[in-house]
Amino acid sequence: MSTQGKDPLIIAHRGASGYLPEHSLAAKALAYGLGADYLEQDIIASRDGVLLILHDLWLDDVSDVATRFPGRSRDDGRHYCIDFDVDEIRTLHFGERVDPATGVEKFPRRFTRAAGSFRVVTLEEEIRFIQGLNASTGRNVGIYPEIKAPQWHADQGVDLAALVIDTLAANGYLEPDSLVYLQCFDAETLRKVRQSTGPVLPIIQLLSSKTTVDATLLRAIAEYANGIGPSIKLILRGLRPDGHYELSDLVSIAQSLDLEIHPYTFRVDDLPDGCSDFSALLRLFITDLEVDGLFTDFTDLVASFMSDPAK
Ligand code: CA
């Protein structure tokens, strides 16, 4: 169902990851406090089948795994989460994302590795944490889990979607009106989830910047999903010579199909080509295009824009 005309949802992308290391509990608490409507969880599995909130299939870019567990990498040099038990992963120090080859931080102005270390969080722990905050604040902030690489997990012998759905069911997220969206890049996985859970669980089909999107594809998505999570680049193609934005027709087609639109990722320190400043980007997507939600690393900046769009 489209939410045009209402304030779009603020989806805290990996938490308040603009200020604290992605997917740390601290980053989730900060995003909660800054006014997010939904907190995002990227989900992968450990060797012993525990669901962890981590973005990559490997641990190298966000932890000290290489120095702590030498000799445990695969042929590509990476240490995969699925090759470690959760108790091993719990001993690692997690921090800001770096290039493991050079140690250079991906976002140099963000929280540094030197400023503190963090621990891995399981899906169960994070759900308890958010529900605890909902109880103590009286607010109702939702979860926004992503099933990461389900086909890859299947090749490793893990039915990741089934594990995620079981956890959502056990925690009350398959009830009507519970605050949850389930997201995935893999269409087949989402089709199966829709078949098994029915319409009670809102589903978002993620679309990468490399996807060729047309009306036929969006109509097919509308058969099993409530909305789409497109890369900003699928909508904002660039700047025309006359200074106007070059936009695709994705938004208008999706709106005509009553699909919600939750584009990613809004970052003040990583603006798309052709965009002059963060407020201009937000004005385009929120005021002009009327998208239904935004994945952002900077919950506070989006909240602040929505409280005063004229500034
Ligand atoms: Ca994600």
**For the chain, domain boundaries:** 9-57+120-307
Task: Give the whole-angstrom CA distance, residue 64 versus residue 68.
Answer: 6
Spot the catalytic one: 23, 55, 153, 262.
55
Q: How far is the CA of 159 from the centre of ligand 1 (A)?
A: 18
Strands 51-53, 38-45: pairing kind:
antiparallel
Q: How far is the CA of 55 from the centre of ligand 1 (A)?
A: 7
Yes or no: is domain 9-57+120-307 CATH 3.20.20.190?
A: yes
Q: What single DSSP character describes residue 206?
A: E
pLDDT of residue 239: 85
Would you call 53 helix, strand, or coil by DSSP?
strand
Q: How far is the CA of 80 from the centre of ligand 1 (A)?
A: 18
Q: Name the band, by pLDDT with cuts 50, 70 and 90, for residue 249.
A: very high
pLDDT of residue 4: 52
Q: Mean pLDDT across the stretch 196-204? A: 97
Q: How far is the CA of 248 from the centre of ligand 1 (A)?
A: 23
Query: Cis link prior to 265 (omega < 30° from 0)?
Result: yes
Q: How far is the CA of 146 from the centre of ligand 1 (A)?
A: 6
Q: What angle do CA 41, 14, 114 make, to 5 degrees?
A: 130
pLDDT of residue 289: 97
Contact predicate 231/212, CB 8 Å: no
Q: How far is the CA of 243 from the centre of ligand 1 (A)?
A: 32
Spot the catalytic one: 13, 23, 153, 262.
13
pLDDT digit string, tens, across residues 44-74: 999 999 999 999 999 999 999 999 999 999 9
Q: Name the band, by pLDDT with cuts 50, 70 and 90, for residue 1.
A: very low
Q: Mean pLDDT across the stretch 114-119? A: 94
pLDDT of residue 176: 93
Q: State percent of the chain over pLDDT 70.
A: 98
Active site residue 13: yes
Q: Which residue has the higher pLDDT, 1 or 245?
A: 245
pLDDT of residue 244: 87
Is the four-CA dihedral 57, 10, 136, 110 of positive or negative sign? positive
For residue 262, pLDDT over 60 is answered with yes
